[in-house]
Every structure is written in structure tokens, then in C-alpha cells.
Amino acid sequence: MRIKKDTLYSFLLVLPSLAAVAIFVYGFIGWTLRVSLSQWTGLLPDYTWVGLQNFVNLFQDPRFFIDIRNTVIFTLVFISGSLIIGMGTAVLLDQNIRAEGFFRSVYLFPMAISFIVTGVVWRWLMNPAMGSRMSGLNLLFSSLGLDFLVNQWHTTPVWGIAAIALPAVWQMSGYTMALYLAGLRAIPDELREAARVDGASEVQIFSNIVFPLLRPVTLSAMVILGHISLKVFDLIVAVAGKQIPLDVPAIYMWQTTFDGYFFGRGAAIGIFLLISVAVLIVPYLVFSLRGEVEL
């Protein structure tokens, strides 16, 4: 009887947040889906059914093609950069060095900054002006005699979006490092010692024992970084404003909805983003709910 009462009260206590999530998350997802299937253009709602027309138009839209290309390039550079630098610094920090706590905080700090602040600072660093107006990193490279490193950064045709991934790597590699460090600390010393007794070199220990055991961490990191990268918006706007060469789906969604009043098309882009993030996250959630890989 007592347990039943407790269950009832705990249910009552979570009820408000359940209701809020139901309305403000799932309700609005449903509403966005409905809008994405309508022809709503203009200030006032127009729910006339057009089926998948908005989605069909999107995939014939040259701008959306650029968005997809940019997202793919950004994601590849961002995830691989963060994973490599994150794992590298984690392995170095794991060597029982002095002042480990200090370095750990220093590398982790960028994560505490918002993408907007990072973007503004890197906007100055990656100034693409040439000649007498050169500044930022280009000026540093040029005065150090490293002229081959001077480049156009985010104004480079086609690959400019990769330059935007640099600040993102700078910001998130410390976080990736923290994830890997936790993973490294979870590997029992007995395993390494046993390998040493068997005569394995340190490199062999890393590649045959440590690296495979870090696989679940890599998977988590990829999922976390991946969903950030699919939704990126603020960083690009802060570094370069809203322009077509650096366009991504989230920026297109904002402009077409709020500047152009194409609500139907904007909602379709929103649903597309939701689906692409879900494709990434749902298998991971299913996988981790079934029980984390045992160490």
C-alpha cells in the first residue's frame, strides 16, 4: 500500500515535466511536420495539403545541394580533427605527468565558451584580407616567413567551410580529450601489466589493448560531435555571416522562414535535420540501452 502511494506521488511529481515535454517537444515536432506538408507562404498560416512537395523541391534546389555538401565537409573535418587531437592529448596527459589537473583544465576551457564568442575571435584570426590590409593568422604566418601558410580561410571556394571547422575543433577537442581520458582511466592496469609480462612493447599495448577498449568512447564522442555538427548555425553566422558559399541547412531554414516567409519550406528543412540527427542518435540509444559494451 505504502509503495503504491509513493509511486503515485512520484508520478504526480514528474507529471508536469512529462506534460511539458509532450507539448513543447513532441507536440511541436508534430506541428512542424504538419507545416512541412503544407504550402504555407506568408505571414498567416495556410495548411493547404501539398504532400511531400516541399521535400521534393528541396532536393532539386541547388542551394540545398550546397548545404548538404557543406555539412558533409564540415562534419568530416570537425569529427576527425576533434577525435585525433582529443585522443592525442588524452594519451599524453595519461602519462602521469606533473600538473595534469592544470593542463586538463586548460584544454577543457574552450568548451565553456559559446560558439558565438569563439566565432567572433576566429573571425579576427582568420581574416582573409591580403596585401597591406593583412591581419590575424595570415599576418603572423607572413611575418614568420611562413608565406605558404597564408590563405583565404573561409573565403576559399568550395573548401571554405573546412576553415569554419577549425574553431569548432579548437572548442570541442578538449571535451573529446576528457571523454578519452575517462576511457583510459577505466582500463585496468592488470591488462597492461599482463601484456608487459608477455613481452609486448608499449606501442603494441596501445594498438592491441588500449585502442580497441576505447572504441565505445569513440562511438559516444562521434555521436555527440556528429549531432553538434549537423545542427551548426551560430558558429558560421558569427565567423562569416549568412552567405551562400558557407550555407548549411540550419541557416537556410532561418532565412527562408523568417526573411522570406516560406514557412512550409523552412519546416521541411527542420524535419530533414531532425531525421538526419535521428539516424545518427537512435541506433546509438538503442545500442546503449541494451547495455554498454563491457570492459
Partner 1 sequence: MFLRSFARCWLYAAFLAALGACTWADLRPGKSTSSLPQNQVEVFSWWTGGGEAAGLDAMIEVFHQKHPEIEFINAAVAGGAGTNARAVLAARLQAGDPPDSWQGHAGQELIGTYVAAKQLEPLNFLYEQEGWLEVMPEMLIPLISQNGQIYSVPVNIHRANMLWYNPKVLSAHQIAPPQTFDEWIAAMEKLQAEGMEAPLSLGEQWTAMHLFETVLLASLGPQDYAGIWTGAVGWDTPQVQRALENYLTVMRFTNSDAASLAWQDAAQLVVNGDAAFNVMGDWAEGFFKELGKTPREDFGWQPVPGTQGTFQFLSDSFVLPANAPHRDAAVAWLKVAGSKEGQDAFNPVKGSIPARSDADRSLYDEYLQSAMDDWQTNTVVGSLSHGVVANDSWKQEIDTALGLFLQSKDVAVFQQALLAACQKSGPCP
Question: Does residue 31 touch partner 1 according to CB under 8 A?
Answer: no
48-56, 124-132, 183-191, 202-210 -> range binding partner 1 (CB under 8 A): 124-132
- For residues 37 and 52, the answer to whether their CB atoms sit within 8 Å is yes
DSSP 3-state of 128 = coil
Question: Does residue 41 touch partner 1 according to CB under 8 A?
Answer: yes
- For residues 262 and 254, the answer to whether their CB atoms sit within 8 Å is no
Q: Residue from 43, 99, 203, 286 that binds partner 1 (CB under 8 A)?
A: 43
Q: Residue from 81, 86, 119, 128 that binds partner 1 (CB under 8 A)?
A: 128
Q: Residue from 255, 276, 281, 284 that binds partner 1 (CB under 8 A)?
A: 255
Nearest-10 crossing angle of helices 28-36, 263-289: 130
Q: For partner 1, give the closer residue by CB, 30 or 260.
A: 260
Instruction: For the segment 221-240, give every residue that binds partner 1 (CB under 8 A).
Output: 240
27-35, 41-49, 77-85, 141-149 -> range binding partner 1 (CB under 8 A): 41-49
Q: Residue from 32, 50, 94, 123 that binds partner 1 (CB under 8 A)?
A: 123
Task: Using alpha carbons, list the distances in angstroms from residue 268 to 23, 31, 205, 280.
Answer: 20, 11, 49, 19
Q: Residue from 1, 3, 4, 12 that binds partner 1 (CB under 8 A)?
A: 12
89-97, 107-115, 154-162, 183-191 -> range binding partner 1 (CB under 8 A): 154-162
Q: How far is the CB of 185 from partner 1 (least distance, A)?
A: 37
Task: Using alpha carbons, list the distances in angstroms from residue 282 to 65, 169, 264.
Answer: 25, 24, 26
Q: Residue from 53, 155, 276, 288 that binds partner 1 (CB under 8 A)?
A: 155
Nearest CA-CA partner of 184 in 212, 158, 155, 154: 212
Question: Does residue 291 touch partner 1 according to CB under 8 A?
Answer: no
Q: How far is the CB of 51 from partner 1 (least distance, A)?
A: 18
Question: Does residue 132 touch partner 1 according to CB under 8 A?
Answer: yes
Please, which residues have CB within 8 angstroms of residue 91's CB and are 6 or more apart in sequence?
Answer: 180, 184, 206
- For residues 160 and 126, the answer to whether their CB atoms sit within 8 Å is no
Residue 269 to residue 54: CA distance in whole angstroms: 9
Nearest CA-CA partner of 115 in 125, 123, 107, 105: 123
Q: Residue from 55, 159, 233, 261 that binds partner 1 (CB under 8 A)?
A: 261
Question: Does residue 44 touch partner 1 according to CB under 8 A?
Answer: yes
Question: Does residue 260 touch partner 1 according to CB under 8 A?
Answer: yes
Q: Residue from 80, 152, 218, 276 that binds partner 1 (CB under 8 A)?
A: 152
- For 253-258, which contacts have Cβ atoms below 8 Å and span 24 or more sequence positions? none
- For residues 141 and 135, the answer to whether their CB atoms sit within 8 Å is no
Q: Residues in the site for partner 1, rule: CB under 8 A?
A: 9, 12-13, 16, 41-45, 62-63, 66, 123, 127-133, 152, 154-155, 157, 240-247, 255-256, 258-262
